[in-house]
Amino acid sequence: AYTATPFVPEGADLAHVREAATGCRGCPLHEAATQTVFGAGNTHARVLLIGEQPGDQEDRQGKPFVGPAGRVLTRALDEAGIDPDDTYITNAVKHFKFEYVPERGKRRIHKAPSLREMTACKPWLDAEVRLVDPDVLVALGATAGKALLGSSFRVTKQRGILLPYEERGECLVATIHPSAVLRADDRDAVYEGLVSDLRIAARVLG
């Protein structure tokens, strides 16, 4: 099976884990992508946010959520009262998965990661959760929710409520992926839903 496990150094701090992730070959996604996009932000943050996988901009720049979805997220966090300096942000899968479609020319079109790829990449996410040790995890969208809570996770049913995250007693709040706001016809309503879910996470911080 595909797995990142042999690439994850044991007993290392987050800086060393991040360094090791640059050479991960745990699944085939590293072949076409530009680079590993590891998490970024405050390594002692109380809020750990998890997206799906890097997009086109993130793949080029090597940092999570630097594209359009990141701009939506930054604004929503601010509105929910979550200090960006108190966050660490990462993705369930660390390499960009894409395809070319004839109608779109040279554009690289995002493709959802498979369960196998999510499972392969999970050891990196587990290491981030363990080493950042946040008070609350925020799963942004279905992929992050499934990666953290298992494949029966349903974002429509489980968003916006405090869920236990078994690993070490933190809690977890799931919400939609910020890119869903960009795709929606009723952007304002979808955006307000994102903000109100993030407020549930903010409440944990007191």
Q: Which residues bind ligand SF4 (CB under 6 A)?
A: 4, 21, 24-27, 29-30, 36, 93-95, 117, 120-121, 124
Out of 64, 113, 123, 145, name the contact with ligand URA by CB under 6 A: 64
* Nearest C-alpha neighbor of 96 from the set 66, 132, 129, 134: 66
Q: How far is CA 170 from CA 12, 27, 58, 167, in A?
A: 22, 29, 28, 8
In the bound complex, what is the minimum distance in angstroms from residue 4's beta carbon to ligand URA? Answer: 18
Owner of token pair 């489980």: 158
169: left (phi over 0), alpha (psi -120 to 50) or beta: left
Question: Does the protein bind ligand URA through residue 39 (CB under 6 A)?
Answer: no
Task: Check binding of 51 to ligand URA (CB under 6 A).
Answer: yes
| Residue found by looking up tokens 């899968």 in the block | 93
Q: Spell out, one character per residue from 76 to 115, where the chain touches ligand URA: x when CB under 6 A holds, - when not.
A: ---------------x------------------------
Rg (CA), the chain: 16
User: Which of 12/57 has CB closer to ligand URA?
Assistant: 57
- If one asks whether residue 117 binds ligand URA (CB under 6 A), the answer comes out as no
- Shortest distance in whole angstroms from residue 122 CB to ligand SF4: 8
**Token digits for 193?**
């839903």
Partner from ligand SF4, ligand URA, none contacting 120, C-beta within 5 to 8 A by type: ligand SF4
Angle at 166 between CA 161 and CA 167, to 5 degrees: 130
The number of residues that bind ligand URA (CB under 6 A) is 12
What's the one-letter identity of residue 114? Answer: S
Q: Rounded CA gap, 175 and 173, in Å?
A: 7
By CB under 6 A, name the binding residues for ligand URA: 51-55, 58, 64-65, 67, 69, 91, 179
